[in-house]
Amino acid sequence: MRKELHEANRESWNAATAAHNTHKVDQAGFLHRGGSTLFPEEIGLLGDISGKRLVHLQCNAGQDTLSLAQLGALATGVDISDEAIAFAKKLSAESGIQADFHRADVYDWLDAARDRAEQFDIVFCSYGSICWLSDLDRWAASLAAILTPGGRFVIVDFHPVSMMFNERVELTYPYFFEGKPLKWDEGVGDYVAATGPALAPSGFQQGLVDFKNPHVVYEFQWHIGAILNSLLNAGLKIEQFHEYPYTNAVKFFENMREDKGRRMYPPDNIPSIPMMFGLAATMPELASNRG
C-alpha cells in the first residue's frame, strides 16, 4: 500500500475540490428541494436502501451521499480530502439532510471500522474510486469485513479500458499494469469546468477560470479481472455485472457527444468501447446451525 502517494493525492484533491464547487450553483438548496445527483445505473444496482446502514467510500464532497440519504439510507460518507469532507458537512447542515462524514484514508477508515465491529448493510462507491486504490486485495477484504451477512456491495465506476486512451482517443496507457502508479504532474484537473452543466445538476456557473493544480497526483491502473477477483477472493458473491458504452456526465475525450440523461459517448468516428462498469455483490448469509 502506497500511503505516501495517497497523501500526495489528498493535497491534489483538496485543491481540485475547491475549484469544482465554484462551478455549482446553490447545491444545498437543490438538495433541500429534493434534487438528486444520482444516476439510474447506481439506483438500479442499489435497489431499496430505505432504512439501510450505508457507507459511501471515497464520497468526495458528499452530494451523492446526501442524495442517498434522501432515499432513506442511514448514510455515512468517507473521503481522504479535507476540503471535500468540510464541504460535505456544510452541505449536510445547509440542506437539512442528515449524514455522517469522516475525513480519512479509505484504508485507515476501513481498518478502524472493522476494529470497532461496525457493520453496514451496503457498501457503495462510484465514479473514480478504483483508480485511487493502491492495494486492491486489501480494499476488498476490508470492505467485506464490515458488511453484514446478506449485505450488499455496489460500485459504478469508469471502465479501465477507457483509461487506456488519452483525450484524443489515442491508445496511450497499458491495460494490464497491476496497480502500478501513473504520475500526473498537472494534478487533479477541473473536469467540472471542462464538462459544464452535465456535472452541475443544481446549476452551472463559470466559477474559477483556468485552474492550475499545484499538486501532483498518482492513479493506479487495475484491469477488470483484478477487480472481480479481489471481490471474489474476499468472499463476496457477484450477482450483477454490467458494462456501458458511455460515461455519466464526464467528458473524458475531445468531442464527446452528449445524449439524453447526461450520458456522454465517444466521438462518432470512434468505435464503441466500454466507458463504465457497474457491479453488485453480496456477502453470503451465515450458515444456520442445525443440531
How confident is the model over 49-70, as pLDDT tens digits? 999 999 999 999 999 999 999 9
Read off the pLDDT of residues 117-139 as tens digits, 9 standing for 90 and up.
999 999 999 999 999 999 999 99
Residue 59 lies in a domain: yes
pLDDT at residue number 289 = 43
Q: What is the mean pLDDT of residues 252-260?
A: 93
Total of domains in the chain: 1
Residue 115 lies in a domain: yes
Task: Record the pTM.
Answer: 0.94
pLDDT above 70 coverage of the chain, percent: 98
Amino acid at 130: I
Strands 237-244 and 247-248: unpaired
Distance (Å, rounded) from C-alpha 268 to C-alpha 70? 37
pLDDT at residue number 143 = 97
Distance (Å, rounded) from C-alpha 190 to C-alpha 209? 9
pLDDT at 72 over 60: yes
Residue 69 lies in a domain: yes
Answer for the pair 250, 192: CB distance below 8 angstroms, yes or no.
no
pLDDT at residue number 288 = 45
Residue 94 lies in a domain: yes
Amino acid at 150: G
Q: What is the mean pLDDT of residues 256-268?
A: 94
Read off the pLDDT of residues 267-278 as tens digits, 9 standing for 90 and up.
999 999 999 999
**Residue 270: count of CB within 10 angstroms of its CB:** 13
Distance (Å, rounded) from C-alpha 37 to C-alpha 14? 21
Residue 147 lies in a domain: yes
Chain centroid to CA 198: how far? 17
Q: What is the mean pLDDT of residues 191-201?
A: 93
3 state DSSP class of 245: coil
Q: Which residues contact 109 (CB under 8 A, 6 or more apart)?
A: 57, 78, 102
pLDDT at residue number 285 = 86
Lowest-confidence region among 17-21, 60-64, 111-115, 267-271: 267-271
CA-based angle 181:187:109, to the nearest 5? 65
Q: What is the mean pLDDT of residues 181-210?
A: 94
pLDDT at 266 over 80: yes
Answer for the pair 20, 61: CB distance below 8 angstroms, yes or no.
yes
Phi, psi of 6 (to 5 degrees): -60, -40
Residue 272 lies in a domain: yes
**Adjacent-strand bridge partners of 183:** 218
3 state DSSP class of 100: strand
The candidate with the shortest Cα–Cα distance to 190, out of 235, 251, 236, 239, is 251
What are the start-end ranges of the H helices in the chain?
A: 3-21, 27-32, 40-46, 63-70, 82-95, 106-115, 136-145, 191-195, 224-233
Residue 141 lies in a domain: yes
pLDDT level of residue 1 (50, 70, 90 thresholds): confident
**Residue 112: count of CB within 10 angstroms of its CB:** 12
For the chain, report the end-to-end CA distance as a whole number of angstroms. Answer: 44
pLDDT mean across residues, the chain: 95
Residue 291 lies in a domain: no
Q: What is the mean pLDDT of residues 198-206?
A: 94
> Domain containing 230: what range?
3-282
- Computed over its alpha carbons, how large is the radius of gyration of the chain? 18
Q: What is the mean pLDDT of residues 185-206?
A: 94
CA-based angle 70:194:167, to the nearest 5? 115
Q: What is the CATH number of the domain that holds 116?
A: 3.40.50.150
pLDDT level of residue 287 (50, 70, 90 thresholds): low
Q: How many residues does the chain have?
A: 291
Q: Which residue has the higher pLDDT, 288 or 40?
A: 40
